[in-house]
Structure 1
Amino acid sequence: MLPEKDPGNSEVTELAPNTPQDELNSPPARSKLLGCFQVLGAFFILFNVWGLNFAFGSFQSFYALNYIQSSTASDIAWIGTIQSWLLIVGGLLSGPLFDLGYYKTMIFAGSFLGVLGMMMLSLAHQYYAIFLSQGVCMGVGFGLLYVPSITLVSRSFTSRRAVALGVSTSGAPAGGIIYTVMFNQLISRLGFPWTVRLMGFVMLGLFIAAAILLLLPERGSRKLEITQSRSLIDLKAFKDLPFWSFTVANFFLYLGYITPFYYIPTYAETKLGTSRTMASNVLLISQASSVIGRVILTLFAHYCGSMVSWVSCGILSGILCLTWISTDSLARFILFAAFYGGISGALIPLPPSVFAHVCPDPKRLGTWLGMAQSLSSFASLLGPPIAGALASINSTGSADLNFLGIQLFSGITMAFGALQLLGLWYLLYTKRGKRGFF
């Protein structure tokens, strides 16, 4: 049997022909310190790639009400959704490259494109330029970083996988908080160009720190020649029912998940009459709750099972989006934003934790996860623009949106996706022999 290269540690592990399945499903042995480095490095990467996506609500409000007022809410939402779609669909390429050991190259290329896109955004004044820099360039760069980062952490832990993913992915809302604060505090003082440039310098510093932490294990190790080729797509996955069940459920959850974060500031300003600062503060409250929620709920998943936690968070998130309809005061809206951020935040770290049980071959975990996330990513591409289009019906512009369409769309799609997870649970029991809540 051919030796397999581990991207996180360039050692070769020769698998014996009669290796038990439990051993095949276990990651290579790593020191606790090395695992902490990988979690912290992934935290910094997700701080940038998802943090800027969560902060897009501030960009959305600024673009719609001040910067490019001639563009509709749906048009502007496409900028953020293209970025998030490319971020996830990039796993179709970065997943197999991770399995082949090209993690170092993807860190450098993805970091360069992300910072380049941010700097080009500071020079943009028209919709098409903003779309290409913030949507396309940054999205492609982030797509080379996201799936490999969470896959590396997922393969590095077994019993505490959900906790490790919860800590590392908490970088996403933490980044959303910092970048939202930076944008709103600097935009009135420095203007749009220098605000964006300073955010780009922060990105650069964190990418450098992440590269040092994630590539540290490769120092002094012997460069290995790749002896086994991999395709971008493993056709076996398309014949696997648990793979499709996971993908469909994740699709509907993603369809509604990010949408409230895009429209929270606009809702606060236009429907509740708050200032831009207060509207951004509500978004910050939601993101801060997401940091706490991810850690607490993944600890809960460690003791009670990732699957039951994922189902519960999906159903509760959908219900919360429906309760958004009754938030006719600032106090109620803050409560909604806080609870939604805290509960929905776990929907990011829990799927990769469960997917380790979906994929039957741990050596193809990166490829299968990249394929599943890429298919689900179309939900992130379509969700906010569809919600924006629904909100624009019978409205006269971005300041007069019908938010009932956004609220119903997000709530119903997320609840439906959570119900689909029950089918995945049954398939993992019958097809993979998984017992309990794993």
Structure 2
Amino acid sequence: MSEKETIPADREIETEESPTLAVAVKSNFRGCLQVLEIAWIGTFQSWLLIVGGLLSGPLFDLGYNTAMIFVGSFVSVFGMMMLSLAKQYYAIFLSQGVCMGLGFGLLYVPGVALVSRSFQQKRAVALGVATSGAPAGGIVYTIMFNQLIDRLGFPWTVRAIAFVMFALFMTGAVLLLGPEIKTVKAESTQRRSLIDMRAFKDLPFWSFVFANFFLYLGYITPYYYIPTYAQTRLGSSRTMGSNVLMISQAASILGRVFLTIFAHYCGSMMAWIFCGILSGVLCITWISADTVARFILFGAFYGGISGALVPLPPSVFAHVCPDPKSIGTWLGMAQSLSSFATLLGPPIAGALASIGSHGSEDLNFLGIQLFSGTVMLFGAFQLFGLWYLLYTVRGKKGLF
């Protein structure tokens, strides 16, 4: 069986960090694109979003946060506009996968680091509220596309989404940067490299990277297969599969807010460990979701619990980096190393799905469920090692 046959032709795909519009692209270019190729657009965009921290981290430490936010916003909107003109696969990959991925990469570290630096006592809560915009965008843009595609057609539907993105980016820039909309350089004139070699000799840094890698490896995979599972295993419509995904995203908004409030009172590390373990367990309990009602419950609980895995690591990382002036560089390095999980997770899941199957309608979801749950549990238990290192090496007491 070929690799292309592991995913149904009518599958809908979205990433956690941003809606990829893969479904929209597929609907408009059904005759020239293979679904596996579409999946690579989303995974490559997600990877660039995180690995872009190698560049945006040092630039943030140098004080170029204003420039990065405006350039990242422009590049992201430009990529979406170019998507409306694309008619071949390479153009779609360049506009959505590369251009938008680079734009999001310039926005990610400044957005997270500015919020993290501005809040000392309620950092986890602030990051939870800030990052809840990602699943909210997944819902808003999906509804926009479904409502406008028949009325405006694909090109103008994508352009309408781009205009909304531009308005939201500008609003976010004003709120993040305050009244002074200008490029501000850091007080220090010391040159900073993309890589700080001190991090490679730091045990807490590597513990953070490995734990986050395995959590990311399993975290993103269920979102790729929620619509497929609903259609092929439960026999529901494509609309129902998309609705379950949106329910999961809506629950993610609530989870990011309420679980980060829990982190404020019980500690970010405790909340991170709790969410990692429970998310892994939920992936394994996915095996018992043999009805639509049970599957909706799984999607809601998984989205609500796992969503907090995005804002909690940066709130803990403030304790990992020993030099506050280098937190942007270190965070960019750590997130970039962990980002390879977003490239490896879906292909591994696709390979496991093909074991014992005879076509796209007979995927082996057991392998996906066990893989996601096992690697997330492994990453969650590694967090106990990170906590021990922070306690012994950094002298941090409690669970932060």
Secondary structure of 2:290's partner?
coil
Q: Is the 8 A contact 1:82 1:136 kept in 2?
A: yes
Measured after TM superposition, the shift of residue 258 of structure 1 is 1.4
Measured after TM superposition, the shift of residue 185 of structure 1 is 2.8
Measured after TM superposition, the shift of residue 340 of structure 1 is 0.2
Larger displacement relative to structure 2 (335-344 or 252-261) = 252-261
Of the candidates 181, 189, 211, which is equivalent to residue 173 of structure 2?
A: 211
CA distance in 2, matches of 1:301, 1:54: 24
CA distance in 2, matches of 1:387, 1:159: 39
**2:157 maps to which residue?**
195
TM-score by length of 2: 0.90
Q: Deviations over 1:349-398 (max 9, x none)?
A: 10001000000011111110011001001111221222123223454554
Q: Is the 8 A contact 2:270 2:399 kept in 1?
A: yes
Of the candidates 122, 128, 136, which is equivalent to residue 166 of structure 1?
A: 128
Larger displacement relative to structure 2 (420-429 or 62-71) = 62-71
CA distance in 1, matches of 2:343, 2:127: 24
Superposed, 1:284-363 pairs within 5 Å as 284-363=246-325
Larger displacement relative to structure 2 (425-434 or 175-184) = 175-184
Q: Deviations over 1:263-308 (max 9, x none)?
A: 2122222222222322221111101111111111000000001111
Identical columns (%) = 74
**1:263 maps to which residue?**
225
Given the superposition, is the C-alpha separation of residues 292 and 55 from structure 1 closer, same or farther in structure 2, using an over 3 Å criterion?
A: same
Larger displacement relative to structure 2 (114-123 or 381-390) = 381-390
Given the superposition, is the C-alpha separation of residues 398 and 191 from structure 1 closer, same or farther in structure 2, using an over 3 Å criterion?
A: farther
Measured after TM superposition, the shift of residue 169 of structure 1 is 0.9
Given the superposition, is the C-alpha separation of residues 390 and 224 from structure 1 closer, same or farther in structure 2, using an over 3 Å criterion?
A: closer
CA distance in 2, matches of 1:149, 1:372: 16
Code of the aligned partner of 1:300: F
Q: Is the 8 A contact 2:24 2:154 kept in 1?
A: no
Measured after TM superposition, the shift of residue 60 of structure 1 is 4.5
Q: Deviations over 1:7-29 (max 9, x none)?
A: xxxxxxxxxxxxxxxxxxxxxxx
Given the superposition, is the C-alpha separation of residues 278 and 384 from structure 1 closer, same or farther in structure 2, using an over 3 Å criterion?
A: same
Q: Is the 8 A contact 2:15 2:223 kept in 1?
A: no
**1:55 maps to which residue?**
19
**1:89 and 2:51 equivalent?**
yes
Q: Is the 8 A contact 1:387 1:409 kept in 2?
A: yes
CA distance in 2, matches of 1:239, 1:115: 39
Given the superposition, is the C-alpha separation of residues 406 and 72 from structure 1 closer, same or farther in structure 2, using an over 3 Å criterion?
A: farther
Code of the aligned partner of 2:262: F
**1:387 and 2:363 equivalent?**
no
Measured after TM superposition, the shift of residue 120 of structure 1 is 1.4
Measured after TM superposition, the shift of residue 421 of structure 1 is 0.7
CA distance in 2, matches of 1:60, 1:219: 34
Given the superposition, is the C-alpha separation of residues 338 and 220 from structure 1 closer, same or farther in structure 2, using an over 3 Å criterion?
A: closer
**2:92 maps to which residue?**
130
Given the superposition, is the C-alpha separation of residues 52 and 356 from structure 1 closer, same or farther in structure 2, using an over 3 Å criterion?
A: closer
4+ long deviations beyond 6 Å: 220-225
Q: Is the 8 A contact 2:57 2:331 kept in 1?
A: yes
CA distance in 2, matches of 1:82, 1:365: 25
Q: Is the 8 A contact 2:61 2:186 kept in 1?
A: no
Q: Is the 8 A contact 1:290 1:343 kept in 2?
A: yes
**1:153 maps to which residue?**
115
Of the candidates 105, 118, 122, which is equivalent to residue 80 of structure 2?
A: 118
**2:386 maps to which residue?**
424
Given the superposition, is the C-alpha separation of residues 195 and 401 from structure 1 closer, same or farther in structure 2, using an over 3 Å criterion?
A: farther
Given the superposition, is the C-alpha separation of residues 217 and 95 from structure 1 closer, same or farther in structure 2, using an over 3 Å criterion?
A: farther
Q: Is the 8 A contact 1:387 1:406 kept in 2?
A: yes
Larger displacement relative to structure 2 (392-401 or 415-424) = 392-401
CA distance in 1, matches of 2:183, 2:63: 13
**1:249 and 2:224 equivalent?**
no
Secondary structure of 1:112's partner?
helix
Secondary structure of 1:435's partner?
coil
Q: Is the 8 A contact 1:83 1:134 kept in 2?
A: yes
Given the superposition, is the C-alpha separation of residues 124 and 220 from structure 1 closer, same or farther in structure 2, using an over 3 Å criterion?
A: closer
Secondary structure of 1:145's partner?
helix
Code of the aligned partner of 1:93: L
Measured after TM superposition, the shift of residue 130 of structure 1 is 2.0
Given the superposition, is the C-alpha separation of residues 217 and 231 from structure 1 closer, same or farther in structure 2, using an over 3 Å criterion?
A: farther
Q: Is the 8 A contact 2:76 2:99 kept in 1?
A: yes
**1:98 and 2:60 equivalent?**
yes
CA distance in 1, matches of 2:17, 2:349: 17
Given the superposition, is the C-alpha separation of residues 206 and 427 from structure 1 closer, same or farther in structure 2, using an over 3 Å criterion?
A: same
CA distance in 1, matches of 2:395, 2:178: 37
Q: Is the 8 A contact 1:259 1:387 kept in 2?
A: yes
The total of aligned residue pairs comes to: 387
Code of the aligned partner of 1:155: R
Measured after TM superposition, the shift of residue 132 of structure 1 is 1.6
**1:369 and 2:327 equivalent?**
no
Measured after TM superposition, the shift of residue 215 of structure 1 is 2.8
Code of the aligned partner of 1:238: F
Q: Is the 8 A contact 1:314 1:344 kept in 2?
A: yes
Larger displacement relative to structure 2 (128-137 or 314-323) = 128-137
Gaps of 5+ in 2: 1-13
**1:18 maps to which residue?**
none
Given the superposition, is the C-alpha separation of residues 300 and 227 from structure 1 closer, same or farther in structure 2, using an over 3 Å criterion?
A: same
Q: Is the 8 A contact 2:16 2:135 kept in 1?
A: no
CA distance in 1, matches of 2:254, 2:219: 17
